[in-house]
Amino acid sequence: MTSPTTEAPTPPTAPGPVHGTWEPRPAARWEDAFLSGNGHHGALVFGDPDDDRVVVTHHTLVRPNGSEHARPPELAAELPALQDRLLAGDRTAAERFTDGRPTQWVQPFHPAFQTRLRRPPADPGPAAYRRGVDFTTGETTAGRADWTSRVVVSRADDVIVQHVTGRDLTLDLSLDHRLPGAPAALGVGHGTLLTPEGAVLTLRARYPDSDRAYTGITLVAVTGGRVSLAAPGARIEGADSVLLLTRVRRHTGELDVTEETRALRGLLTERSYEDLLDRHTALHRTAYARVTLDLAAEPDERALAGSELLGRPGSRALLERLFAAGRYHLLSASGLFPPRLTGLWTGDWDTAWAGAFTTDANLNLQTASAAAAALPEVTAALAALIHGQLADWRENARAIFGARGVVAPPHTDGESGLTYHFSREYPLHLWTAGADWLLAPLVDHDDTRGERDPRTAAALAEVARFYEDFLTRTDDDGHLVVVPSYSPENRPANASWGAINAAMDLSAARHALLTAAAYHAGEPDRADRWRALADRLPPHRINADGALAEWAWPDLDDTYDHRHLSHLYAVWPLDEINPYDTPVLAAAAHRALALRGAENDSAHGHLHHALIAARLRDGHRVAHALAQVLEGDFFHASLMSAHYPHRDVYNADAAHTLPAVLIEMLVQSTPDRLVLLPALTPALPAGELRGVRTRFGADLDLAWGPDGARAVLRPHRTHRVELRTSSGAQPLDLVAGEDRVLTLGTW
């Protein structure tokens, strides 16, 4: 099955995949605007020669709505009585476990303003128009014979940079806050100051009924021509080029605009547009280029505009481009925070679900590829969100459950990690699995690098402490009982939403306790106590349909037609249930997956389904789930995605999750196992995946074709793992620093 030969299968068709996308016309909708970002600032670029608009966003821009003062409900004193009622058979008891407040949403994410460069319409002559975005640099471009515009959001200097060139440019420049949904009572002030370089434009916006505000600053440098005041901005006449440097800051009270302007001037005096682009590209390209996917697509299809390629859902070129776009957008949205429901972008103040970080499914799905696809920048952004909110997580545990340790919120705006968003139909305050679910990617990241982050270790210890205090009830067999228990966002067919022993809660508790014990193996008293607690948790239940039950408590019936697959947490992302070690439970999990409906066709539901199917080696089910998204018109021309079919509701779930699905089809790893080509289908007959990181500390390149497959492992530590292929299993000994080449027969 394996040998140290260098024979390779048929190589993918040259030239390779396209690392960018393009369109033959400007964006008419903000959803189709090309995207750039550095994990702090974001830009949506329309590319219109006559009204060159760039919508500016920032991860911190959330509108005060009262929730900035919200606290978790003080319910701990009522918890024992609730547990008594649920264990006694009262299946609606949790509906009364509330302080009576109405549903309160987190502060909604919103855009800041748009920079606008308007000019008199001109006849461009016969020259063609084209706009594009280069994933390797993060630069968007638009141009025709008489005009070009280039935009990049710099990782090196945290600034939005726009460079416009042309012949005898006459432009009216302004910062325009009038975007869809902007509050009528938004207090807006404009300022323009002429400078030797050109001008400085400011926009200050104060939120209604709040002392909080945000300020945008654009420094303008003009080559040739002249600049004059033209309220609310400036007029540029006869210029050869215009360089804009833009930043936005959210603040309380007044902002020192002078200091911010001085910082931008420092960039301007030292560097040209090309210098600023090069400084950014050195950081961005290094991250983006670590992993590539080549599916031997047709060269003619690779050359198509993105909107035309989207009309060919069976195209391998489309999968290549969406893989590349997904990694690009995920990287660009991650820095200060990981991606929101909309990534880092929106052109509308009325953002669906508040543009929050929804933690019970969406956030982890979007970041699912971070460890394997070699994007530690994404993991670092997730870690920053988690570690910045641990104090609030402790307050959740205390207030709701009377426990030490931490409980994660189901929604957060990035400012607060307190749990206050819940209702009767969505009793999200009962969800206790969130901390383990959010920390699991950090554990995977530690596995890839072979070193345990002490911050992750400390957070896991707090999760374990919570379970020590919370898991106090037992069943007739002496097993611990998770009560109350909630499976996002589903309910039993014969009970209310708050129930007992949800499968996700059982898996999360077991995983958190055992992982905390592993991270604290040098403290045997604690580690042994946590392992013993994990051993007392009940097993998963297989229901009368032969499916893994969503609730392990007897007589709680499953509700199958639902978008969430929380009950299969043990399969993905955990490895608690798999076809190799737990085949009976894996078969039950597969049955549960087969019975699961799509409910409202949410993109995250389809791709979550695909990730689980890949772990269960069901390539046909993976392909079907992918097809639901590719054929359902989920992607805008920007290659950012929607939540529902027919491009309904701008949402990053599909765009950011799709790369993880393709990787899981080809390569899966645990600290002790490598699985090659577990869910590949004939629709992908040849290809090459390069740069993947495994959880046993080796980088991997994989090529496959009609004659077989070839994998090259570059281990960073000496280790023995189990190699799994379609031919079976065998041990694989890896030595740090020594490449290992594997050749496989036809798959």
The reply to whether 73-104+388-583 shares the fold of 33-62+109-288 is: no
Give 10-residue mean pLDDT values along the chain (747 residues): 40 72 98 98 97 98 96 98 98 95 96 96 75 98 94 98 95 98 97 95 97 97 95 96 97 91 88 94 98 98 98 98 98 98 98 97 98 98 98 98 98 98 95 98 98 98 98 97 97 96 98 98 97 98 98 97 96 98 98 96 97 98 98 98 98 98 98 98 96 98 96 97 95 97 79
Distance CA 555, CA 198 (A): 73
33-62+109-288 maps to which CATH number? Answer: 2.70.98.50
Please report, for the chain, the start and end positions of each structural domain, with discontinuous segments joined by +: 33-62+109-288, 73-104+388-583
Angle at which helices 503-519 and 524-535 cross, to 10° = 160
CA distances to 9, 83, 440, 515 from 536, rounded to whole Å, are 49, 18, 22, 16
Structure tokens at 584: 């009976």
Distance CA 624, CA 627 (A): 5
Distance CA 6, CA 205 (A): 62
| DSSP assignment of 323-382 | HHHHHHHHHHT-SSS--BTTBT--S-SS-GGGG-EETTTHHHHHTTTTTTTT-HHHHHHH
CA distances to 346, 426, 429, 466, 501 from 498, rounded to whole Å, are 34, 9, 10, 19, 10
Angle at which helices 583-595 and 603-615 cross, to 10° = 160
Instruction: Note whether 214 and 254 are within 8 A (CB).
Output: no
Distance CA 567, CA 579 (A): 17
214 phi and psi, to 5 degrees?
A: -140, 150
pLDDT at 12: 45
Distance CA 676, CA 480 (A): 37
Q: Whose structure tokens read 């979550």?
A: 608
- The CATH fold of domain 73-104+388-583: Glycosyltransferase (1.50.10)
pLDDT at 596: 97
Distance CA 310, CA 18 (A): 14
Instruction: Note whether 172 and 165 are within 8 A (CB).
Output: no
CA distances to 326, 368, 437, 667 from 661, rounded to whole Å, are 11, 9, 18, 10
599 φ/ψ sector (left φ>0, alpha ψ -120 to 50, else beta):
left
